[in-house]
Amino acid sequence: MANFAVSFVALFLFYILQQSKAASASFNVVTFGAKPDGKTDSTLPFLKAWSAACSSASPSIVYVPRGSYLLKAIVFSGPCKNKITVQIDGTLVAPTDYRALGNSGYWILFIEVNRVSVFGGTLDARGAGFWACRKSGLNCPVGARSITFNWANDILISGLTSINSQSMHLVINSCNNVLIRNVRVTAPALSPNTDGIHVQVSTGVTITGSTIQTGDDCISIGPSTKNMLMSSIKCGPGHGISIGSLGNSVNEGGVENITLTNSIFSGSDNGVRIKSWARPSNGFVSNVVFQNLIMNNVKNPIIIDQNYCPTNQGCPHQSSGVKISQVTFRNIQGTSATPEAVKFDCSSSNPCSGIRLQDIKLTYMNKAATSSCKNIGGTSSGVLMPSSCV
């Protein structure tokens, strides 16, 4: 009986082991023909590995070993049969000629996928050539976002590094339940429109433990975004963390339930910003909390700008229809790079309401900075430097 029990246990353990192996099929891109030399086009082998994983009935892994892999514009599409983990131990590089990515607006695109996790890896979009084209005023492509998720659910992005995107680095569009953690995004301070992470038309996005240094917003939040949490972010250089720009269209979904906490801004053009165009719109911003933030030599630590017009060309010179309400700024301290550390320039037709300032300490040249307010209502409490105009 004892021997039978031992045999049964051994057989059971063998069965469990085999099941665990079968439960996670692995597809190595090199097996499908990818070359880790940074020169050979590996787009098709990557697509073959993805197709095999996507059609797998069991959870699967797409594995990218160490090395450098050249990818042209590529689309990983779903829906897939089960969850997929993309483990990147190498570097994905875009073609040297920026025109090779075309006018699609993307480099790496995940579309209509669920339960996809991306771990590790570096994306090098080699954007300098495209930026030079933009600066020269020549006829350039639209610019490619490095990695985009469209219509995706239950997404995890962990430990990814993105450098020198032509345009935005990481875009979350029309997604639900996304966790972005421990990512690093880098581009020169003067690189145009290289937002670190852009989120729009999405619900339940969390960004944490990430360092973002770019030529545009570290994080930008577009219309129809709600239930978003950002924490432990290091931002700068760049344009800060922005809600907006909003109000570019008359019919536009609102932004609500947004929290940023425990983050540091260093040398950025803005700290926390809400911006909207001065034109009619039914958009809104509601229930926002910016708290526990440190500003180090930031030009506009706290700003609401409802007369946004970045190039000062074609400005609508109307009144913004975007309604901003219930926004809290709490425990924000540090240094401003300009005399005016707090600026609220709200809409004359839709004044900001429910704006709360609590424990703000921002200095300029070792003295109290200043603040200005237009068309705003709210309350202030605690230590307030500069003195509140709310």
Contact (CB, 8 A) for 52 and 26: no
Which residues lie below 8 Å from residue 268, measured CB to CB, with a gap of 6+?
Answer: 218, 235, 236, 237, 238, 239, 240, 298, 299
Position 178 in a domain: yes
Indicate if the pLDDT at residue 376 is higher than 70. Answer: yes
Structure tokens at 60: 């699967």
Position 244 in a domain: yes
Q: How far apart are CA 59 and CA 320, in angstroms?
A: 48
Please tell me the predicted confidence (pLDDT) of residue 175.
98
Q: What's the total number of domains in the chain?
A: 1
Digit-coded pLDDT (tens) for 278-309: 999 999 999 999 999 999 999 999 999 999 98
Please tell me the predicted confidence (pLDDT) of residue 199.
98
Q: Let me know if 169 is a catalytic residue.
A: no
Contact (CB, 8 A) for 139 and 165: no
Digit-coded pLDDT (tens) for 9-19: 333 333 333 33
Residue 104 amino acid letter: S
**Domain of residue 196, residue span:** 25-309+322-385
| Alpha carbon separation from 50 to 24, 85, 340 (Å, rounded) | 14, 10, 52
Position 129 in a domain: yes
Position 192 in a domain: yes
Position 18 in a domain: no
Catalytic residue among 169, 198, 239, 317: 239
% of the chain surpassing 70 pLDDT: 94
Phi, psi for residue 321 in degrees, rounded to 5: -85, -5
Q: How far apart are CA 11 and CA 108, in angstroms?
A: 45
Q: How far apart are CA 328 and CA 289, in angstroms?
A: 5
Position 249 in a domain: yes
Position 341 in a domain: yes
Q: Which residue has the higher pLDDT, 22 or 248?
A: 248
Domain of 360, CATH number, reads 2.160.20.10
Identify the DSSP state of 192: T
Helices (H), the chain: 2-22, 43-54, 128-136
Residue 95 amino acid letter: P
Digit-coded pLDDT (tens) for 224-246: 999 999 999 999 999 999 999 99
Residue among 185, 170, 309 at smallest CA distance from 236? 185
Position 67 in a domain: yes
Please tell me the predicted confidence (pLDDT) of residue 5.
36
3-state secondary structure at position 127: coil
Indicate if the pLDDT at residue 2 is higher than 80. Answer: no
Identify the DSSP state of 388: P
pLDDT mean over 29-51: 98
Digit-coded pLDDT (tens) for 107-124: 999 999 999 999 999 999
